[in-house]
Amino acid sequence: MHRTHNCGELRKENIGEKVTLCGWTQLKRDKGGMIWIDLRDRYGITQLAVEQKNTPAQLIEIIDKIGREYVIKVLGEVIERYSKNDKIPTGDIEIKIEDITILSKSETPPFTIIDNTDGGDELRMKYRYLDIRRNPVKNALMLRHKVAQEVRKFLDEQDFIEVETPCLIKSTPEGARDFVVPSRMNSGEFYALPQSPQTFKQLLMIAGMDRYFQIVKCFRDEDLRADRQPEFTQIDCEMSFVEQKDILDLFEKLIKKLFKTILNIEIDYNFPQMPYDEAMEKYGNDKPDIRFGMTISDLGENLKGKNFVVFDSAEYIGGIVLPSGSEYSRKQIDELTNFVRTPQIGAKGLVYCKYNTDGTFKSSVDKFYSQADWAVIADKMQAQKGDLILILAGEKELTLHGLSELRLKLANQLGLRPKDKFAPLWVVEFPLLEYDAESQRYHAKHHPFTAPFDEDIELFNTDPGKIRAKAYDLVINGIEIGGGSIRIFDKELQELMFKNLGFSKEEAEAQFGFLMNAFKFGAPPHGGIAFGFDRLVSLFGGSDSIRDYIAFPKNNAGRDVMIESPSEISQNQLNELGLALKETKKTL
Amino acid sequence: MHRTHNCGELRKENIGEKVTLCGWTQLKRDKGGMIWIDLRDRYGITQLAVEQKNTPAQLIEIIDKIGREYVIKVLGEVIERYSKNDKIPTGDIEIKIEDITILSKSETPPFTIIDNTDGGDELRMKYRYLDIRRNPVKNALMLRHKVAQEVRKFLDEQDFIEVETPCLIKSTPEGARDFVVPSRMNSGEFYALPQSPQTFKQLLMIAGMDRYFQIVKCFRDEDLRADRQPEFTQIDCEMSFVEQKDILDLFEKLIKKLFKTILNIEIDYNFPQMPYDEAMEKYGNDKPDIRFGMTISDLGENLKGKNFVVFDSAEYIGGIVLPSGSEYSRKQIDELTNFVRTPQIGAKGLVYCKYNTDGTFKSSVDKFYSQADWAVIADKMQAQKGDLILILAGEKELTLHGLSELRLKLANQLGLRPKDKFAPLWVVEFPLLEYDAESQRYHAKHHPFTAPFDEDIELFNTDPGKIRAKAYDLVINGIEIGGGSIRIFDKELQELMFKNLGFSKEEAEAQFGFLMNAFKFGAPPHGGIAFGFDRLVSLFGGSDSIRDYIAFPKNNAGRDVMIESPSEISQNQLNELGLALKETKKTL
């Protein structure tokens, strides 16, 4: 070992010891007669001290050369510090330097290696190996490690077996886009990278593995949104001989254990369970943030029939209450109106009603509604004097979405979404099928193997859209952390499902043949869940961005700007793969 | 839960309890009046019993329908077994069936789900989900899980952080072939799948992570040999501020701990360390199996100069002693001769000398050598009366290889390589460079970042082939389990290395630019090791084949015969990727 101790472990008790430390030069201060160096490694910072007059010139010469981020090795004695620093665990001591070696020089880094760096996003990504030296990123990666360890420990204790499923699998024509991998040995043929190990984990249940998990990379060649990565990590789980309740119970325990061990937060209640329909009606959203109220009220029966054409012609009218908002200025309300009119939300306008502190109402549609009308509405919405009622109307789904966005925006403004408060929630009773107007057929809301409620199976003949699925999502603070379902394990039911999804027997066979084939040999009842690991860790870390929790993330164009990938490959490689590039590059 | 207990946990203590079990029907025996069913799940087998005369006809009807591998659910009482079975933990009890439900039917499986199955390799792979139901495969996967857990636990305790490095990286022109992944978002460009996270782990050291590990999938698009897989798993590790000794010490501890926790084998001695040169001279092999002796003797000075042209003209003459082999028949020796003449070995012939029990010598070249000559040789080789001396001659490297193969073959015949005896060994002092006659230049034996011995650096100017590397392999029972090196962290030394490998500055920049760039900002001394996880687990499992320890392996043509991958993709997918297949498929 080049060192006897790391930079985070020396304490008062070590005073008098001769030690050797290695690390990076965080800071060098020359205060006339004394030089101090902050030496940094993963474990912490230790202060080095040199009294110039008592130090050989040769040593001073070396110290003079040392710049920021130089890697050095020092030999010295642990001494008590004159002015202690209670902000760091090593703050009681410093090292009186007796010898020093420069192990590695450093050019001036493109940004400063401090918690609040001056580096912009792209620069930090290009020099990610310097960015990771910073505490926020280093700690994020260490948190990620710790969460993974705890997950594995818990699941191991619960008899889960981690099984590695293959990365080089088969492309399926359905769903989001696969990354494909040309095979050199089988020219003209391709592997695909898995979007999830779904079929493999079901095969493992048929294989009798009983309880499977895997912390596993998945891949999706989608157009990237702000917080999507082409490769991401899942905690993927599947169990046999269980019902929905068993899965929710067990994984609720896991999440509680993680809150306890990672954040020291004790959650001593059962996570609430909310049916999908209720989430949509009350929150306009299938992943509601329930840290705060401000739920949506359906105001159709209150507001229709009063000759206000906009409302009378609307499929749906809904509103939320902004506490203490009656004093909102014209400008503030205009700002909200502009917000709901943005293309992402697409509302035509915003109706408001101030519930003044004197008990009167002042709305933007006073022509159509009386004080008495508003009193009834205020009562229904449990609005208080001094509140502001905000109302959207239009196509139902769109309007609920708008109200949801408005609700979240206002809660953010009001500080109702603190990062250190957590509100877990199971959303359950998802619809099994979703009607797609464009293709004029039903799609599986979760995936085609999700089991319907037993008592809803007869609805396949009458009203398939009403069938509830044995599917569930774990939502924390408005973020979907995981989701899963009980699977169909009965061949006939599966065939009925495929029929309803518009698959011919041949198409079902072509796409899911090997899984269907496996079902012929004794499939157990089974179900599972998958958690977005990147997202779970960033939630624990108190960040909105998963990127900080990935060691080497890609940017929004799917590029790794550090290694400059993707990149062109040689003609030779293309030839070996039996491939040619099309002459005209596709414009994106 | 569909069950109250699994099929492996009921004991005498449970007698009298009402239980519900689920599982697969392993066996049904109808013995006139009594029906027994062996019910199987991951945890074990429990016997179910039905007395026909006391059972409702309806229940008997269901039981009659149950075939092999049906999934059933039974309710019944735990009763003491009349004839106990001490071969299984549940052998004291059986379940008196009160109710039974068929959860899933099964067609007749294509092979029997028993330990010694009648299924051939390809059939087992095609129906891998049935193969995994068999104990040998199921246990192999469970062993794999256990080893992974223990590795993670140990490394976590040693302050290692598991960091996930990316799967979608950049293709490098050097080395074995990369799998590439066309990017849809960046048309005409490709990612590559990592052959190892080598550069990323070095970047993590520069990033100050200090101790990194990862159990990680790697990919190599090589022509597959018997025991290679296009995707395989490594335990990948790297440490900062360490020297070779530190790495060997720490990972020797890991291996010892695995032997203890997995196999309950205590290894209470330091693993021997053998320089590469010694391994080659004594074993003809850089991964010697040291469970047995039969080392190679260099007989050049004994056998040359006696007018035997074959020996006189040979670059090298070497021999091994086969204990108690002097009674070998003509036919047995012919068989050995044929073996060394096979193309894989390529020797011209085999010379032998029987050291008879009466103390005389009888060789195949008695014309040239006297009894006294042989006595000297026998003494040198420590041969005993009754032994057989076997000699090969020719080009040195080839001859040593032949002797090595002969030694292993004979040891196999003699039962000197038992699967339950383990002999770990560090092979050290590898040459840094290897001369390649074809390209007329040196190649890196390990990889271009491996550090040379400090005292050998001056040999760059005089005899580069003689430079020893700070590289090491862990060999157990003749199998290379892991390998690694201390890395160069000095820019100038790295440049000297590239120069010796025939890289121009520009080529080095193009290939390793981003790593070289990172070295400019303060690189710590570092080194690491990677273990072949599939191989390590199969060693612990006592198998020669890694395939049994991979849930869904590919065959020798790189195909997954279960999911039929790789496969063709649609023209639409190709278009989106901006790719075209070459019209004439490459013949392989």
Residues A247 and A299 in one domain: no
Span A358-401, pLDDT tens digits:
999 999 999 999 999 999 999 999 999 999 999 999 999 999 99
CB-closest option in A138, A156, A246 to B208: A138
User: B243 in contact with A at a CB cutoff of 8 Å?
Assistant: yes
The B residues from 471 to 490 touching A (CB cutoff 8 Å) are: 489-490
> Using 50, 70 and 90 to split pLDDT, how confident is the model at B586?
very low
Find chain A residues with C-beta within 8 A of B70's C-beta: 522
Find chain A residues with C-beta within 8 A of B249's C-beta: none
Q: What is the mean pLDDT of residues B122-138?
A: 95
Nearest of B64, B19, B474 to residue B270 by alpha carbon: B474
Residues B264 and B144 in one domain: yes
Span B477-497, pLDDT tens digits:
999 999 999 999 988 899 889
User: B222 in contact with A at a CB cutoff of 8 Å?
Assistant: no
Residue A228: its pLDDT value, please? 81
CATH of the domain at B297: 3.30.1360.30
The B residues from 358 to 387 touching A (CB cutoff 8 Å) are: none
Find chain A residues with C-beta within 8 A of B135's C-beta: none
CB-closest option in A3, A185, A580 to B580: A580
The A residues from 283 to 322 touching B (CB cutoff 8 Å) are: none
A565 with B180: Cβ contact below 8 A: no
> Using 50, 70 and 90 to split pLDDT, how confident is the model at B173?
low
Tell me which of B164, B242, B516, B546 to substitute to probe the interface with A (most A C-beta atoms closer than 10 Å). B164
B138 with A24: Cβ contact below 8 A: no
User: Which three-class secondary structure state does DSSP give residue A102?
Assistant: strand
Domain that holds residue B16: 12-104
Q: Locate the chain B residue with the closest alpha carbon to A217.
A: B167
| B528/chain A closest Cα distance in angstroms | 13
A190 with B569: Cβ contact below 8 A: yes
Q: Kindly state the tokens that stand for A203.
A: 């095969």
Q: What is the mean pLDDT of residues A311-316?
A: 96
User: B533 in contact with A at a CB cutoff of 8 Å?
Assistant: no
User: B236 in contact with A at a CB cutoff of 8 Å?
Assistant: no
Examine the fold and report which residue of A56, A83, A104 is the final residue of a domain before the chain moves on: A104
B514 with A192: Cβ contact below 8 A: no
Tell me which of B129, B156, B220, B537 to substitute to probe the interface with A (most A C-beta atoms closer than 10 Å). B129
Span A499-533, pLDDT tens digits:
888 888 888 887 788 888 999 999 999 999 999 99
Find chain B residues with C-beta within 8 A of A524's C-beta: 22, 71, 103-104
A559 with B186: Cβ contact below 8 A: yes
User: A204 in contact with B at a CB cutoff of 8 Å?
Assistant: yes
| B32/chain A closest Cα distance in angstroms | 27
Q: Locate the chain A residue with the closest alpha carbon to B221.
A: A184
CB-closest option in B104, B241, B566 to A190: B566
| B312/chain A closest Cα distance in angstroms | 46
Tell whether B281 is covered by a domain: no
Q: Is B200 exposed, middle or buried (0-12, 13-18, 19+ CB in 10 A)?
A: buried
CATH of the domain at B77: 2.40.50.140
**Does the pLDDT at position B389 exceed 70?**
yes
Span B181-229, pLDDT tens digits:
999 888 889 999 999 999 999 999 999 999 999 999 999 988 766 678 9
CA dihedral A332→A333→A335→A339, nearest 10 degrees, is 140
CB-closest option in A105, A162, A568 to B145: A162
Tell whether B576 is covered by a domain: no
B2 with A133: Cβ contact below 8 A: no
Tell whether B587 is covered by a domain: no
**Tell me, what's the ipTM?**
0.94
**Does the pLDDT at position B124 exceed 90?**
yes
State how far the Cα of B494 lies from the Cα of B516, in Å rounded to an integer.
Answer: 9
Residue A209: its pLDDT value, please? 98
Nearest of B288, B262, B279 to residue B536 by alpha carbon: B262
Tell whether A207 is covered by a domain: yes
Element (H, E) at A508: helix A505-518
B103 with A164: Cβ contact below 8 A: no
Examine the fold and report which residue of B413, B433, B458 is the final residue of a domain before the chain moves on: B413
Residues B268 and B325 in one domain: no
Give B585's DSSP letter: P
Tell me which of A164, A494, A547, A561 to substitute to probe the interface with B (most B C-beta atoms closer than 10 Å). A164
Find chain B residues with C-beta within 8 A of A556's C-beta: none
Residues A234 and A326 in one domain: no
Residues B154 and B255 in one domain: yes
Give B107's DSSP letter: P
> Using 50, 70 and 90 to split pLDDT, how confident is the model at A174?
low
Nearest of A199, A137, A3, A569 to residue B178 by alpha carbon: A569
Span A466-492, pLDDT tens digits:
999 999 999 999 999 999 999 999 888
A514 with B564: Cβ contact below 8 A: yes
Span A28-55, pLDDT tens digits:
999 888 999 999 999 999 999 999 998 9
Residues A145 and A243 in one domain: yes
Tell whether A449 is covered by a domain: yes
For chain B, helix (H) and strand (E) counts, in that order, are 17, 23
B181 with A193: Cβ contact below 8 A: yes
Residues A454 and A490 in one domain: yes
Residue B202: its pLDDT value, please? 97
> Which of B89-98, B167-176, B234-243, B467-476 is predicted with the least confidence, judged by mean pLDDT?
B167-176
Residue A513: its pLDDT value, please? 82
Q: Locate the chain B residue with the closest alpha carbon to A213.
A: B145
Residues A157 and A73 in one domain: no
Span A112-164, pLDDT tens digits:
999 998 878 889 999 999 999 999 999 999 999 999 999 999 999 999 999 99
- SS3 of B409-427: the string is HHHHHHCCCCCCCCCEEEE
Q: Which long-range contacts (CB under 8 A, 24 or more apart) does A25-30 make?
A: A25/A66, A25/A67, A25/A68, A25/A69, A25/A70, A25/A71, A25/A72, A26/A68, A26/A113, A27/A68, A28/A63, A28/A66, A28/A67, A28/A68
Provide the phi-psi class of A132: left if phi over 0, else alpha when psi is between -120 and 50, else beta.
alpha
Tell whether B543 is covered by a domain: yes
State how far the Cα of B347 lies from the Cα of B316, in Å rounded to an integer.
Answer: 12
User: B24 in contact with A at a CB cutoff of 8 Å?
Assistant: yes
Residue B587: its pLDDT value, please? 45
**What's the number of domains chain B is made of?**
3
Span A487-506, pLDDT tens digits:
999 888 998 999 888 888 88
Residues B266 and B297 in one domain: no
Tell whether A189 is covered by a domain: yes
State how far the Cα of B24 lies from the Cα of B22, in Å rounded to an integer.
Answer: 7
Residues A300 and A348 in one domain: yes
CB-closest option in B69, B191, B567 to A565: B191
Q: What is the mean pLDDT of residues A175-193?
A: 87
User: B228 in contact with A at a CB cutoff of 8 Å?
Assistant: no
Residue A226: its pLDDT value, please? 65
Span B364-384, pLDDT tens digits:
999 999 999 999 999 999 999
What are phi and psi for residue B586, nearest 5 degrees? Answer: -70, 135
Q: What is the mean pLDDT of residues B118-137?
A: 93
User: A507 in contact with B at a CB cutoff of 8 Å?
Assistant: no
Q: Kindly state the tokens that stand for A499.
A: 């029929």
> Using 50, 70 and 90 to split pLDDT, how confident is the model at B438?
confident
Residues A333 and A354 in one domain: yes
CATH of the domain at A257: 3.30.930.10
User: Which three-class secondary structure state does DSSP give residue A406?
Assistant: helix
CB B311 within 8 A of CB B303: yes
**Does the pLDDT at position B127 exceed 80?**
yes
Examine the fold and report which residue of B83, B104, B125 is the final residue of a domain before the chain moves on: B104
Question: In A31-172, which ranges are E strands?
Answer: 34-41, 44-51, 71-80, 93-104, 161-162
Residues A543 and A434 in one domain: yes
Span B237-283, pLDDT tens digits:
999 999 999 999 999 999 999 999 999 999 999 999 999 999 999 99
Find chain A residues with C-beta within 8 A of B106's C-beta: 520-522
A203 with B129: Cβ contact below 8 A: yes
**How many interchain CB pairs under 8 A, A with B?**
366
- Residue B97 burial (CB count, 10 A): 22
A580 with B581: Cβ contact below 8 A: yes
Span A292-304, pLDDT tens digits:
999 999 999 999 9
Give B467's DSSP letter: P
Tell whether B133 is covered by a domain: no
B145 with A128: Cβ contact below 8 A: no
B161 with A142: Cβ contact below 8 A: yes
Higher-scoring residue by pLDDT: A284, B186: A284
Residue B42: its pLDDT value, please? 97
